[in-house]
């Protein structure tokens, strides 16, 4: 039984880790932290967990946590993880960091988008935790940087086409739409029901911090540097990210052929589903599950590949993928404890 600690347990991502781990047969949560709610029972802050999670939030130090837990999830804001992670890694415990702090290998790129890095010495050790790309390295890792939600949906959507050089790397546009849980549980006007319901908007157009992370991983697939246009939007739904991806084909191909190629590419992946040619995923088909659904077609009139990918941002886009990584790091079946069936309707 893996003893798990969660840092930043009162946010939606931290809650989701706890929620999912309640059904994990090989792991148990020994502590979950929250400065704001320290001392309060989890079930008071999250009443849906009444009777299920008999924990209270704590505010224990890294050293105390190290004495109790084998593996730690960091569901903390960017910049805070880099203060916490080094201590745990030194104790020999396993760490899965859900922030952006250790996802970007190039410390200058990190600096340009996020500001100075204060734990750069750890960067070489951090493995980018996208199992479909880096499974073997994750199995060996002690320290995993869990991918961002947008990057997960975009990288999985483009990997087959990019790796097989079927698309022009300079032509990639990612138009992504996310549910509101991606903004976290901090009270702020733009996340209020009355501001979101019935609305829809783009934000951080051309300047979202997930851009360098996406470009890094797409660059690895393309075998060259990449610059993409990435536009995030805020959907009036709680969960889910759907990315519509555009790129110019380098040679003619049909929707059937590319769909078959995608299906083959992801043949052994337990959490990637390819839609039949001409069909595209709906967010509501993945919500509540760790699946990434992908639909592929060709716009014959313009010679462009169009891919649509969909994930649950809190599961495959964050906490589910983190547990998938935990399973790999701990030698368990990758699917253990992960929800197999989406919730619909």
- Active site residues per annotation: 149
Residue among 40, 54, 165, 302 that touches a second copy (CB under 8 A): 302
Provide the pairing of β-strand 127-128 with 304-311. Answer: unpaired
Residue among 156, 159, 218, 275 that touches a second copy (CB under 8 A): 275
Give the residue among 203, 184, 212 at the shortest CA–CA distance from 318. 184
- Residue 100 CB, shortest distance to a second copy, in Å, is 18
Q: Find the binding residues for a second copy in span 162-191 (CB under 8 A).
A: 170, 173, 175, 177, 180-181, 185, 187-189, 191
Q: Is 148 exposed, middle or buried (0-12, 13-18, 19+ CB in 10 A)?
A: buried
Both tokens of 110, joined, read: 């990190």
Number of residues that bind a second copy (CB under 8 A): 82
Compute CA 329 distance to the chain's CA centroid, rounded to the nearest angstrom: 17
Q: Is 267 in the site for a second copy (CB under 8 A)?
A: no
- Residue 331 CB, shortest distance to a second copy, in Å, is 23
Collapse the DSSP code of 294 into the 3-class scheme (helix H, G, I; strand E, B; otherwise coil) and give the result: strand
- Residue 52 CB, shortest distance to a second copy, in Å, is 6
Distance CA 163, CA 291 (A): 21
Distance CA 105, CA 127 (A): 9
Mark 201-240 with x for binding to a second copy (rule: CB under 8 A) and - for no binding. Answer: xxx-xx--------------------xxx-x-x-xxxxxx
Q: Find the binding residues for a second copy in span 95-154 (CB under 8 A).
A: none
Both tokens of 51, joined, read: 């009777």
Distance CA 47, CA 45 (A): 6
Residue 145 or 308 having the CB closest to a second copy? 308
Residue 115 or 225 having the CB closest to a second copy? 225
Residue 63 or 106 having the CB closest to a second copy? 106
Q: Find the binding residues for a second copy in span 28-57 (CB under 8 A).
A: 46-52
Provide the pairing of β-strand 143-145 with 173-178. Answer: unpaired
Q: Find the binding residues for a second copy in span 278-297 (CB under 8 A).
A: 279-289, 293, 295, 297
- Residue 139 CB, shortest distance to a second copy, in Å, is 24
Residue among 108, 198, 267, 268 that touches a second copy (CB under 8 A): 198
Radius of gyration of the chain (CA): 20
Residues facing residue 33 across a β-bridge: 58
């Amino acid at each position: 039984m893996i003893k798990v600690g969660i840092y930043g347990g009162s946010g939606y991502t931290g809650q989701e880790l706890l929620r999912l781990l309640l059904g994990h047969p090989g792991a148990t949560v020994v502590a979950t932290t929250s400065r704001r709610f320290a001392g309060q029972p989890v079930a008071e802050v999250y009443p849906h967990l009444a009777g299920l999670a008999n924990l209270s939030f704590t505010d224990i130090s890294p050293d105390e946590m190290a004495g109790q837990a084998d593996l730690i999830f960091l569901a903390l804001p960017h910049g805070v993880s880099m203060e916490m992670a080094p201590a745990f890694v030194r104790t020999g415990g396993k760490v899965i960091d859900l922030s952006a702090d250790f996802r970007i290998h190039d410390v200058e790129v990190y600096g340009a988008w996020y500001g100075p890095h204060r734990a750069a010495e750890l960067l070489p050790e951090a493995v980018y935790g996208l199992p479909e790309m880096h499974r073997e390295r994750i199995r060996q890792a002690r320290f995993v940087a869990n991918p961002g939600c947008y990057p997960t949906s975009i990288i999985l959507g483009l990997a087959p086409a990019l790796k097989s050089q079927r698309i022009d790397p300079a032509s990639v546009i990612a138009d992504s739409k996310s549910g509101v849980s991606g903004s976290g549980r901090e009270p702020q006007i733009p996340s209020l029901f009355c501001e979101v319901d019935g609305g829809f908007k783009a934000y951080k157009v051309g300047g979202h911090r997930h851009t360098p992370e996406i470009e890094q991983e797409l660059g690895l697939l393309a075998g060259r540097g990449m610059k993409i246009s990435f536009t995030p939007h805020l959907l009036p739904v709680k969960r889910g990210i759907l990315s519509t991806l555009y790129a110019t084909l380098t040679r003619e191909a049909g929707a059937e052929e590319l769909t078959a190629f995608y299906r083959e590419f992801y043949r052994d992946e337990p959490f990637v589903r390819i839609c039949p040619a001409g069909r595209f995923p709906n967010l509501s088909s993945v919500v509540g599950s760790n699946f990434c659904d992908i639909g592929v077609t060709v716009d014959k009139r313009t010679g462009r590949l169009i891919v649509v990918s969909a994930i649950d941002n809190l599961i495959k886009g964050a906490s589910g993928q983190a547990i998938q990584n935990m399973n790999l790091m701990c030698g368990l079946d990758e699917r253990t404890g992960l929800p197999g069936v989406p919730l619909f309707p």
